[in-house]
Amino acid sequence: MQEIPQLLLHNRAWAAEQLADDPDFFRRRLDGQKPAFLWIGCSDSRVQPDHFTQAAPGGLFVHRNIANLVRHDDANLMAVLEFAVMTLGVNDIVICGHYGCGGIAASLGSLPEGPVGHWLEHVVDVINLHRHAVDSISDPEERVNRLVEINVRDQLLHLAQTSTVQAAFAAGRPLTLHGWVYDLRDGLIKPLLDIDADTALEEVGAPERVLL
Protein backbone atom coordinates (compact mmCIF):
# COMPACT_ATOMS: atom_id res chain seq x y z
CA MET A 1 0.00 0.00 0.00
CA GLN A 2 3.04 2.29 -0.02
CA GLU A 3 2.19 3.25 -3.59
CA ILE A 4 -0.96 5.18 -2.56
CA PRO A 5 0.76 7.64 -0.19
CA GLN A 6 3.48 8.02 -2.79
CA LEU A 7 0.95 9.00 -5.45
CA LEU A 8 -0.55 11.62 -3.14
CA LEU A 9 2.91 12.93 -2.26
CA HIS A 10 3.80 13.22 -5.93
CA ASN A 11 0.53 15.03 -6.58
CA ARG A 12 1.27 17.64 -3.92
CA ALA A 13 4.79 18.12 -5.26
CA TRP A 14 3.48 18.51 -8.80
CA ALA A 15 0.81 21.05 -7.75
CA ALA A 16 3.40 23.08 -5.84
CA GLU A 17 5.74 23.03 -8.84
CA GLN A 18 3.01 24.31 -11.18
CA LEU A 19 2.16 27.18 -8.83
CA ALA A 20 5.83 28.09 -8.42
CA ASP A 21 6.25 28.29 -12.19
CA ASP A 22 2.90 29.93 -12.91
CA PRO A 23 0.68 31.28 -10.09
CA ASP A 24 -2.34 31.39 -12.46
CA PHE A 25 -1.93 27.80 -13.72
CA PHE A 26 -4.94 26.32 -11.91
CA ARG A 27 -7.10 29.43 -12.18
CA ARG A 28 -6.96 29.19 -15.97
CA ARG A 29 -8.13 25.58 -15.77
CA LEU A 30 -11.39 26.89 -14.29
CA ASP A 31 -12.17 28.89 -17.44
CA GLY A 32 -13.33 25.79 -19.35
CA GLN A 33 -11.80 23.56 -21.98
CA LYS A 34 -11.23 23.89 -25.70
CA PRO A 35 -9.41 20.73 -26.79
CA ALA A 36 -8.13 20.44 -30.34
CA PHE A 37 -8.44 16.64 -30.48
CA LEU A 38 -10.62 13.80 -29.34
CA TRP A 39 -8.23 10.93 -28.63
CA ILE A 40 -9.58 7.37 -28.64
CA GLY A 41 -6.84 5.05 -27.44
CA CYS A 42 -6.01 1.86 -25.60
CA SER A 43 -6.12 1.65 -21.80
CA ASP A 44 -2.58 0.22 -21.68
CA SER A 45 -0.73 1.97 -18.84
CA ARG A 46 2.38 2.38 -21.00
CA VAL A 47 0.53 4.50 -23.54
CA GLN A 48 0.00 8.03 -22.19
CA PRO A 49 -1.00 10.36 -25.05
CA ASP A 50 -0.60 13.60 -23.13
CA HIS A 51 3.02 12.61 -22.42
CA PHE A 52 4.21 11.48 -25.84
CA THR A 53 2.39 14.26 -27.69
CA GLN A 54 3.38 16.88 -25.08
CA ALA A 55 -0.19 18.14 -25.19
CA ALA A 56 -0.88 21.00 -22.81
CA PRO A 57 -3.64 20.55 -20.21
CA GLY A 58 -6.93 20.99 -22.06
CA GLY A 59 -5.48 20.00 -25.42
CA LEU A 60 -6.81 16.43 -25.60
CA PHE A 61 -10.28 15.13 -24.82
CA VAL A 62 -9.56 11.46 -24.10
CA HIS A 63 -11.45 8.17 -24.17
CA ARG A 64 -9.58 4.91 -23.60
CA ASN A 65 -10.59 1.26 -23.62
CA ILE A 66 -8.92 -2.11 -24.16
CA ALA A 67 -7.74 -2.38 -27.78
CA ASN A 68 -9.14 1.09 -28.70
CA LEU A 69 -12.48 -0.24 -29.97
CA VAL A 70 -15.35 1.81 -31.37
CA ARG A 71 -18.66 0.11 -30.69
CA HIS A 72 -21.93 1.80 -31.52
CA ASP A 73 -23.53 0.18 -28.46
CA ASP A 74 -20.88 1.64 -26.13
CA ALA A 75 -22.89 4.44 -24.50
CA ASN A 76 -19.81 5.82 -22.77
CA LEU A 77 -17.86 6.31 -26.00
CA MET A 78 -20.90 7.56 -27.91
CA ALA A 79 -21.49 10.20 -25.22
CA VAL A 80 -17.83 11.26 -25.30
CA LEU A 81 -17.95 11.47 -29.09
CA GLU A 82 -21.14 13.53 -29.17
CA PHE A 83 -19.92 15.92 -26.51
CA ALA A 84 -16.53 16.37 -28.16
CA VAL A 85 -17.90 17.04 -31.64
CA MET A 86 -21.18 18.81 -30.95
CA THR A 87 -20.41 20.74 -27.77
CA LEU A 88 -16.64 21.24 -27.69
CA GLY A 89 -16.38 21.65 -31.46
CA VAL A 90 -13.49 19.25 -31.93
CA ASN A 91 -12.59 18.87 -35.62
CA ASP A 92 -9.89 16.19 -35.36
CA ILE A 93 -10.45 12.73 -33.91
CA VAL A 94 -7.60 10.27 -33.46
CA ILE A 95 -7.90 6.53 -33.01
CA CYS A 96 -4.50 5.36 -31.82
CA GLY A 97 -3.54 1.75 -31.31
CA HIS A 98 -0.13 0.57 -30.24
CA TYR A 99 2.20 -2.21 -31.29
CA GLY A 100 2.46 -5.07 -28.83
CA CYS A 101 -1.14 -4.56 -27.66
CA GLY A 102 -2.08 -7.21 -25.12
CA GLY A 103 -5.76 -7.09 -25.99
CA ILE A 104 -5.03 -7.71 -29.65
CA ALA A 105 -2.65 -10.56 -28.78
CA ALA A 106 -5.21 -12.18 -26.48
CA SER A 107 -7.82 -12.07 -29.23
CA LEU A 108 -5.68 -14.34 -31.40
CA GLY A 109 -5.91 -17.11 -28.80
CA SER A 110 -8.56 -18.50 -26.47
CA LEU A 111 -10.53 -15.65 -24.95
CA PRO A 112 -10.82 -15.53 -21.16
CA GLU A 113 -14.16 -15.87 -19.44
CA GLY A 114 -15.97 -12.79 -18.21
CA PRO A 115 -16.12 -9.14 -19.25
CA VAL A 116 -12.65 -9.02 -20.83
CA GLY A 117 -13.39 -11.98 -23.07
CA HIS A 118 -16.76 -10.52 -24.03
CA TRP A 119 -15.14 -7.19 -24.92
CA LEU A 120 -12.44 -8.85 -27.02
CA GLU A 121 -15.03 -10.72 -29.08
CA HIS A 122 -15.19 -7.52 -31.09
CA VAL A 123 -11.52 -7.89 -31.99
CA VAL A 124 -12.24 -11.47 -33.04
CA ASP A 125 -14.79 -9.99 -35.46
CA VAL A 126 -11.96 -7.96 -36.99
CA ILE A 127 -9.80 -11.08 -37.24
CA ASN A 128 -12.55 -12.98 -39.01
CA LEU A 129 -13.04 -10.16 -41.52
CA HIS A 130 -9.33 -10.18 -42.35
CA ARG A 131 -8.56 -13.84 -41.75
CA HIS A 132 -6.34 -14.29 -44.81
CA ALA A 133 -4.18 -11.25 -44.06
CA VAL A 134 -3.73 -12.31 -40.44
CA ASP A 135 -3.07 -16.00 -41.08
CA SER A 136 -0.60 -15.26 -43.87
CA ILE A 137 1.91 -13.95 -41.30
CA SER A 138 3.76 -16.76 -39.57
CA ASP A 139 5.70 -14.78 -36.97
CA PRO A 140 3.50 -14.32 -33.86
CA GLU A 141 4.78 -10.85 -33.01
CA GLU A 142 4.41 -9.63 -36.58
CA ARG A 143 0.90 -11.10 -36.72
CA VAL A 144 -0.13 -9.16 -33.61
CA ASN A 145 1.34 -5.92 -34.91
CA ARG A 146 -0.29 -6.27 -38.31
CA LEU A 147 -3.63 -6.91 -36.59
CA VAL A 148 -3.05 -3.75 -34.54
CA GLU A 149 -2.89 -1.79 -37.81
CA ILE A 150 -5.91 -3.53 -39.32
CA ASN A 151 -7.90 -2.99 -36.14
CA VAL A 152 -7.22 0.76 -36.23
CA ARG A 153 -8.50 0.81 -39.82
CA ASP A 154 -11.72 -1.03 -38.92
CA GLN A 155 -12.38 1.08 -35.82
CA LEU A 156 -11.87 4.25 -37.87
CA LEU A 157 -14.55 3.03 -40.25
CA HIS A 158 -16.87 2.27 -37.32
CA LEU A 159 -16.24 5.82 -36.09
CA ALA A 160 -17.00 7.31 -39.51
CA GLN A 161 -20.33 5.49 -39.57
CA THR A 162 -21.59 6.86 -36.23
CA SER A 163 -24.55 9.23 -36.33
CA THR A 164 -22.48 12.00 -34.71
CA VAL A 165 -19.74 11.91 -37.33
CA GLN A 166 -22.21 11.55 -40.19
CA ALA A 167 -24.16 14.56 -38.91
CA ALA A 168 -20.97 16.62 -38.71
CA PHE A 169 -20.03 15.62 -42.25
CA ALA A 170 -23.53 16.49 -43.51
CA ALA A 171 -23.32 19.90 -41.83
CA GLY A 172 -20.09 20.68 -43.67
CA ARG A 173 -17.91 20.57 -40.58
CA PRO A 174 -14.17 20.28 -41.33
CA LEU A 175 -14.01 17.05 -39.33
CA THR A 176 -11.14 14.65 -40.01
CA LEU A 177 -10.60 11.19 -38.52
CA HIS A 178 -7.03 9.99 -38.11
CA GLY A 179 -5.85 6.39 -37.67
CA TRP A 180 -2.47 6.13 -35.93
CA VAL A 181 -0.32 3.52 -34.19
CA TYR A 182 2.07 4.29 -31.35
CA ASP A 183 5.35 2.35 -31.31
CA LEU A 184 6.46 1.45 -27.79
CA ARG A 185 9.99 0.72 -29.03
CA ASP A 186 10.86 4.22 -30.18
CA GLY A 187 8.04 6.40 -28.85
CA LEU A 188 6.95 7.50 -32.32
CA ILE A 189 3.44 7.75 -33.76
CA LYS A 190 2.99 6.02 -37.13
CA PRO A 191 0.10 7.53 -39.19
CA LEU A 192 -1.94 4.93 -41.12
CA LEU A 193 -4.87 6.68 -42.79
CA ASP A 194 -7.28 9.62 -42.62
CA ILE A 195 -11.00 9.84 -43.32
CA ASP A 196 -13.02 13.00 -43.99
CA ALA A 197 -16.37 13.91 -45.48
CA ASP A 198 -15.14 13.24 -49.02
CA THR A 199 -13.85 9.73 -48.30
CA ALA A 200 -15.76 6.86 -49.92
CA LEU A 201 -15.89 4.50 -46.96
CA GLU A 202 -16.58 1.44 -49.11
CA GLU A 203 -13.30 2.06 -50.92
CA VAL A 204 -11.08 2.26 -47.84
CA GLY A 205 -8.71 -0.68 -48.09
CA ALA A 206 -6.37 -2.22 -45.57
CA PRO A 207 -3.62 0.19 -44.53
CA GLU A 208 -0.12 -0.31 -45.84
CA ARG A 209 2.08 -2.17 -43.42
CA VAL A 210 4.00 0.39 -41.39
CA LEU A 211 5.95 -1.89 -39.07
CA LEU A 212 8.03 -4.22 -41.25
Write out pLDDT tens, residues 73-88.
999 999 999 999 999 9
96 is catalytic: no
Q: Which of 10, 22, 28, 42 is catalytic?
A: 42
Q: Which of 10, 28, 29, 46 is catalytic?
A: 46
pLDDT at 28 over 90: no
156 contacts: CB under 8 Å, gap ≥ 6: 70, 95, 177, 178, 179, 193, 195
* C-alpha–C-alpha distance, residues 17 and 8, integer Å: 14
Q: What is the pLDDT of residue 60?
A: 95
pLDDT at 57 over 90: no
- Domains along the chain? 1-31 (no CATH), 34-203 (3.40.1050.10)
> In the Cβ-directed half-sphere of 167, how many Cα atoms lie within 13 Å?
8
Q: Which residue has the higher pLDDT, 212 or 16?
A: 16
pLDDT at 177 over 60: yes
pLDDT at 182 over 90: yes
Q: What is the pLDDT of residue 210?
A: 67
Q: Which of 96, 101, 154, 178 is catalytic?
A: 101
| Overall average pLDDT of the 55-77 stretch | 95
Residue 74, classed as helix, strand or coil, is: coil
198 is catalytic: no
Q: What is the pLDDT of residue 65?
A: 98
Summary count for the chain: helices (H), strands (E):
9, 5
> Average per-residue pLDDT in the chain?
93
42 is catalytic: yes
Q: Which of 63, 96, 98, 178 is catalytic?
A: 98
What's the whole-model pTM score? 0.89
* C-alpha–C-alpha distance, residues 193 and 152, integer Å: 9
Q: What is the pLDDT of residue 212?
A: 54
72 is catalytic: no
101 is catalytic: yes
Residue type at 177 in one-letter notation: L
Q: What is the pLDDT of residue 205?
A: 79
pLDDT band at 31 (very low <50, low <70, confident <90, very high): confident
